[in-house]
Structure 1
Amino acid sequence: MIYAQTAAPAVEPVTLGEVKAHMRMEEGQEDAFLTALTGIARSHLEHTTGLALVSQGLRLYLDRWPTSCIVRIGRGPVRSIEAVTVYDGDGAPQTVPLAGHWLDGYGRPARLWLPDPPAPGRAVNGIEIDFTAGYGESGADVPAELKRAMLMHVALMFSYRGAVAPADQPAAIPDGYDRLVAPYARRGL
């Protein structure tokens, strides 16, 4: 399974004001840097948990339909399925009707069932599922524990600002971070 972002979140889960209040900063000369670190903290949290915090467009690529006919979507919570496209052997797209589909968007992983989807003719990435995932349109919809973990992470990365370039962040994870995100993390056997 391959995921690609088709539409970035419109806002970050925590605002610059929340970051500055958490760090007890009033000056504005570090605003651009703090904004960049906030994006890094969100991206890290989303990739380690499989979550999309604020609504964003994503695409799932599949080679074939699962034998159970239930597609497991590892990025969530899934708010809606926008489109399903299947490519034939010549690479021509065919839109799959969404009538009658079933979505368990808040399951971990989310699950999608489509009645009688056509088989792809392309051996690799012959199926594309476009969906919207996230807790909501703003940070107010994101669980408080995840926002707190992000604030702690931004503060720690800020403390490394002279030693570690933003492109090389995150350099470390703060104490207590794992406990905050554990209820939302992916579980494996």
Structure 2
Amino acid sequence: MTLEELSGVATAALPLAGFKDHLRLGSGFADDGVQDEVLEAVLRAALAAIEARTGKVLLEREFRWSVTAWRDRDRQPLPLAPVSAVVAVRQVDRNGTQIPVTPTRTVLIPDAQRPVLSAPSGGLPAVPRDGRVEVDLLAGYGPEWSDLPADLAQAVMMLAAHFHEYRSNVGVPGAALPFGVTSLIERYRTVRMFMGGRS
């Protein structure tokens, strides 16, 4: 099972101006943009860290999920949330030949924690021998920063500010997310049970 990001977060979608305000950086100077590259880097790092901790995709983008076996023949929890669309499903045989799956054979069951790919009838598409099934997904709260829940947006800002402040430290013993950030993201974290339960 592999997950590949097909489209990255566009620079225009990042709240660079808002982050400057959050840091209370001065404005109106000739060199206003001199820190933009550093600020963008810490914003991207904070975004990635929050997504990793919560299992949620914040800004909308496309992913390709490849599976070599289904956990359940009729329904399969997806590895990301929230998922707004299943763009395409295809079977890929051992030689790399792709066979598109008819869109009506699968349906997305949205869920804030664990969206599911379901088969209305006849089961999910068979995985070819020594092959895989590829599922292209559109995941994220939306394409704009304003689409994010306010607490997740604030968590990213706070963590980015933390990264910015300590950017010169190459190692912090026992490094962890700041308490305020942890508090903001706690309700979004997914509890996963793999001991036979259908999560």
Q: TM above 0.5, one fold?
A: yes
- CA deviations 1:115-164 (Å, max 9, x no partner) are 4444222435x111001001111011100101111111111111112223
- CA deviations 1:82-102 (Å, max 9, x no partner) are 111112343311111112532
CA distance in 1, matches of 2:155, 2:12: 14
User: Aligned residues, how many?
Assistant: 184
Q: Which runs of 5+ in 2 are unaligned?
A: 194-199
Partner of residue 164, structure 1: 170
SS in structure 1 at match of 2:95: coil
Deviation of 1:11 (Å): 4.8
Q: Which among 48, 59, 78 is matched to residue 43 of structure 1?
A: 48
> Percent identity over the alignment?
27
Bigger Cα Rg: 2
Does residue 173 of structure 1 match 2:177? Answer: yes
Cα 1:41/1:109, change in 2 over 3 Å: same
The answer as to whether partners of 1:41 and 1:150 remain within 8 angstroms in 2 is yes
SS in structure 1 at match of 2:25: coil
CA distance in 2, matches of 1:89, 1:38: 40
CA distance in 1, matches of 2:105, 2:91: 17
Q: Which among 75, 98, 101 is matched to residue 103 of structure 2?
A: 98
Deviation of 1:14 (Å): 4.7
Partner of residue 58, structure 2: 53
Q: RMSD of the alignment, in Å?
A: 2.2
SS in structure 2 at match of 1:109: coil
SS in structure 2 at match of 1:30: helix
Partner of residue 2, structure 2: 2
4+ residue segments displaced more than 4 Å: 11-14
The answer as to whether partners of 2:3 and 2:65 remain within 8 angstroms in 1 is yes
CA distance in 2, matches of 1:12, 1:134: 16
Cα 1:87/1:100, change in 2 over 3 Å: closer
Please tell me the residue identity of whatever aligns with 1:150: V
- CA deviations 1:10-34 (Å, max 9, x no partner) are 3576511111111111253322101
Partner of residue 23, structure 2: 23
Partner of residue 123, structure 1: 130
The answer as to whether partners of 1:12 and 1:139 remain within 8 angstroms in 2 is no
CA distance in 2, matches of 1:151, 1:91: 43
